[in-house]
């Protein structure tokens, strides 16, 4: 029997039955066309998940019965903060989605010198909300019970200053012409890492110097130059493989 995972921003466990929010209800009833008796899994991002059963539809909202709580977590042993130069259109959605599937702990979208995307002030909050929704949707698909936080868009200078004050034991910056490889720099498994990836135009010389002063080490991903939507996915997969996450 199909088991559908749904994120709900609700307190779970206090009542045996509850009505789901309209957006979640519409997805279950109109998109997936689930019927009473369908098995569900509910999580609210605070850890663990609940088995549930769809009971009925009440004025467009799904009523569910909560079952057993499971404290299962599917987080990576290596927390990774992704600093990602904003990519155009659906490329950024793809980055957020796949980074979530690969266990990233948080994402900071960056405005860089060579960024091809410039958002008006009124559009910033909507774009962040969209990316956060993409991350939550990826958690529903991949089994994570804790969605990575997608932060507000910041300038790279501010992100580097924050990273320098942070506790990441490994700070990596992807640069195609770097002399060191990612695998060489991450050979000794770090406790946590920060990964910096530029936009379509890459990082400027000034930005690379700024990042180096903040403790970032330049590294490459093999002999080929990867697109901005490919590079973070490849780098995260390599880091998680080195950390043992993909073998668990």
Q: Where are the domains of the chain?
A: 3-70, 80-247
Q: Return the pLDDT at 241.
A: 92
Domain over 80-247 is classified CATH 2.40.50.430: no
Cα–Cα distance for residue pair 131/136, rounded to 1 Å: 9
Section 127-153 average pLDDT: 95
User: What CATH topology corresponds to 3-70?
Assistant: Ribosomal Protein L25; Chain P (2.40.240)
Tell me the per-residue pLDDT of 184-236, one tens digit each, with 9 for 90 and over: 888 877 889 999 999 999 999 999 999 999 999 999 999 999 999 999 999 99
Beta bridge partners of 62: 57
Sole residue written with tokens 């009473």: 36
Q: Give the CA dihedral 160, 242, 86, 98, nearest 10 degrees.
A: -150
Whether residue 2 has pLDDT greater than 70: no
Whether residue 32 has pLDDT greater than 60: yes
248 versus 105: which is more confidently predicted? 105
Section 30-54 average pLDDT: 94
* CA atoms within 13 Å, Cβ hemisphere of 128: 18
Q: Per the structure block, which two tokens stand in for 201?
A: 């135009």
Section 46-75 average pLDDT: 93
Q: Under DSSP, is residue 195 helix (H, G, I), strand (E, B) or coil?
A: strand
| DSSP label at residue 37 | T
Q: Return the pLDDT at 186.
A: 85
Confirm whether 3-70 and 80-247 share one CATH topology. no
Cα–Cα distance for residue pair 57/46, rounded to 1 Å: 26
H/E element holding 181?
none
Check if the beta carbon of residue 30 is closer than 8 Å to that of residue 76.
Answer: no
| DSSP label at residue 220 | B
């Amino acid at each position: 029997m199909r088991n559908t995972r749904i994120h709900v921003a609700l307190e779970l466990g206090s009542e045996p039955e509850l009505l789901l929010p309209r957006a979640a209800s519409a997805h279950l009833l109109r998109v997936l066309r689930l019927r009473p008796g369908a098995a569900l899994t509910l999580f609210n991002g605070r850890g663990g998940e609940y088995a549930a059963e769809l009971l009925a539809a009440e004025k467009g909202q799904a009523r569910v019965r909560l079952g057993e709580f499971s404290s299962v977590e599917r987080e990576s042993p290596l927390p990774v903060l992704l600093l990602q130069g904003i990519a155009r259109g659906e490329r950024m959605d793809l980055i957020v989605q796949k980074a979530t599937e690969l266990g990233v702990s948080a994402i900071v979208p960056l405005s860089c010198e060579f960024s091809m995307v410039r958002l008006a002030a009124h559009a910033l909050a909507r774009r962040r909300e969209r990316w956060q929704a993409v991350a939550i949707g990826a958690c529903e698909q991949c089994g994570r019970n804790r969605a990575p936080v997608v932060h507000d868009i910041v300038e790279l200078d501010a992100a580097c200053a924050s990273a320098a004050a942070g506790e990441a034991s490994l700070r990596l910056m992807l640069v195609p012409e770097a002399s060191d490889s990612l695998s060489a720099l991450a050979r000794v498994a770090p406790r946590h890492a920060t990964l910096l990836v530029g936009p379509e135009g890459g990082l400027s010389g000034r930005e690379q110097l700024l990042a180096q002063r903040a403790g970032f080490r330049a590294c490459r991903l093999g002999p080929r130059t990867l697109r901005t939507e490919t590079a973070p996915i490849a780098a995260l997969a390599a880091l998680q493989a080195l950390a043992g996450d993909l073998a668990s």
